[in-house]
Structure 1
Amino acid sequence: MNKILLIGRMTREPEIKRIEEIDKVKCNFTIAVNRKVKNSEGIFEADFIPVVVWGKIAESVAKYMKKGSLISVIGRLQVRSYNDKDNNKKYVSEVVGEEVQFLERKKESIS
């Protein structure tokens, strides 16, 4: 079984992209998830986890979430590889989000 549940804050603005070849929309973002342990200064350490979502979920994340938003993601871990420009093999680990829940509303700026 490959199932992951994460709750964390978005570390940057979500990046949405349309993949023309397959006519799909994808959104990439990273969330900071606190660990249970604190460091020597008493501050929780965090893991920064890359997430990718597709389709309607991707559109909703891009529209309603922003840097700092609290979000939950249920999905699966995916490890893939590719060759970089120097033909070195690189590995990428990311969570493919299948369910997303917005735990805070996007705060609108007041003009």
Structure 2
Amino acid sequence: MSSLNKAQVIGRLGKDPELNKTDSGSSVVNFSVATAERYRTEEGKKGEVTDWHQIKVWGGLAENCNQYLSKGSLVYVEGKMKTNKWEDDKGTTRYSTHVKAETVEFLSPKETAATEQE
């Protein structure tokens, strides 16, 4: 049996991207993307649930994301789900999951992203 690990997300950045460099000089940028699901209760009231997706982008694409994306930007992200495991200071095992982006499409111009969020 073969497997598939693919994530696709369309949403808005919750804050500006954070660019870092690895010890070897590779660029990596991190940002979070919000997606919202709207629903109606049995009583007819409207509701909304927001999910936050952590995104990690490497290399030249990371540099582009850092340059052209900002809080409120609308993006399409496609990649693979990755889970990191570590122990905190107290010895408790912790996990975090993110999308390792292979494709990032900018769906709104940088200039309008900030004004759309206001």
TM-score in terms of structure 2 length: 0.83
- Determine the structure 1 residue equivalent to 2:60: 56
Structure 2 counterparts to residues 50-89 of structure 1, below 5 A: 50-89=54-93
Is the contact between residue 38 and residue 47 of structure 2 (CA under 8 Å) also seen in structure 1?
Answer: no
Going from structure 1 to structure 2, the CA distance change for 1:84 and 1:42 (only over 3 Å counts) comes to same
Question: Aligned-residue CA RMSD in angstroms?
Answer: 1.9
Amino acid paired to 2:14: T
Select the structure that is richer in helix: 2
Larger Rg: 2
Q: 1:12 aligns with which of 10, 15, 30?
A: 15
Distance 1:95 1:71 in 2: 13
Q: What CA deviation, in whole Å up to 9, does each residue of 1:56-108 have, x standing for no partner?
A: 11101110000000000000111110111222111011111100000011018
Q: What are the ranges of 5 or more consecutive residues in structure 2 without an aligned counterpart?
A: none
User: Percent same amino acid at aligned positions?
Assistant: 29
Q: How many residues align?
A: 108
- Determine the structure 1 residue equivalent to 2:110: 106
Q: What are the ranges of 5 or more consecutive residues in structure 1 without an aligned counterpart?
A: none
- Determine the structure 1 residue equivalent to 2:31: 29
